[in-house]
Amino acid sequence: MRRLTIVLVLFFCGIAFSQAEHFETGYIELLKKDLQAEAKKLVDENLGLTDDQAKVFWPIYDRYDVALLELSNERLDVIADYMLDFYDLSDEKAESLLKRVFEIDQKKLDIQKEYFDKFNAVLPATLVGKFYQIDNHIDLLISLQRTESIPLIQTGSGE
């Protein structure tokens, strides 16, 4: 069951990221909602919360997920900008894109730290740690799929 869920997550990520330029925005939004639901399902299946823990965890998780979704949208904007200039990427544009990526990565870390305190206030640290492990695994799967879909920068030195 877990492998099936992981395969579904990868499938949705692959479609959303590698084919984004061919789909309408509304369709991409539906795929993101499916991905969010699958990620939440993975967390639920693997975290092992009691009913009382679940009552305090899920409202915080939902706010965390919304905060990260905003960053996901920013990252998609960076990818779209990169792909628009892919064949004629200047040093200035490359630098600008990299700075935006660093800003997004820092914002993500800030959100994770902020929500660590919120999760830690209502759950044992071992469960909070397990949640962040699961969250990191999901993020790595998404990053892997996204990375496979984005070509390396052409530098003119043998590409």
One digit per residue, pLDDT tens: the chain, 159 residues?
555 455 445 545 554 444 444 434 554 555 556 677 788 999 999 999 999 999 999 999 999 999 998 898 898 888 888 888 888 888 999 999 999 999 999 999 999 999 999 999 999 999 999 999 999 998 888 888 777 778 788 887 655
Dump strand ranges (E) for the chain: none
Q: Is residue 156 part of a domain?
A: no
84 within a domain of the structure (yes/no):
yes
Residue 155: inside a domain, yes or no? no
Helix (H, G, I), strand (E, B) or coil at 150: coil
Structure pTM? 0.74
pLDDT at 20: 43
Distance of CA 89 to the CA centre of its chain: 25
Instruction: Tell me which residue range forms the domain holding 79.
Output: 2-149
Instruction: Let me know if residue 154 belongs to a domain.
Output: no
Q: Is the dihedral of CA 93, 99, 101, 104 positive or negative?
A: negative
For residue 16, the model assigns a pLDDT of 47
Q: Residue 136 carries which DSSP code?
A: H
- Residue at 116 is within a domain: yes
Q: Is residue 123 part of a domain?
A: yes
Q: Does residue 128 fall inside a structural domain?
A: yes
How many domains does the structure of the chain reveal?
A: 1
Would residue 73 count as lying in a domain?
yes
**In contact, 62 and 127? CB cutoff 8 Å:** no
Query: CA angle at residue 136 from 141 to 96, to 5 degrees?
Result: 75
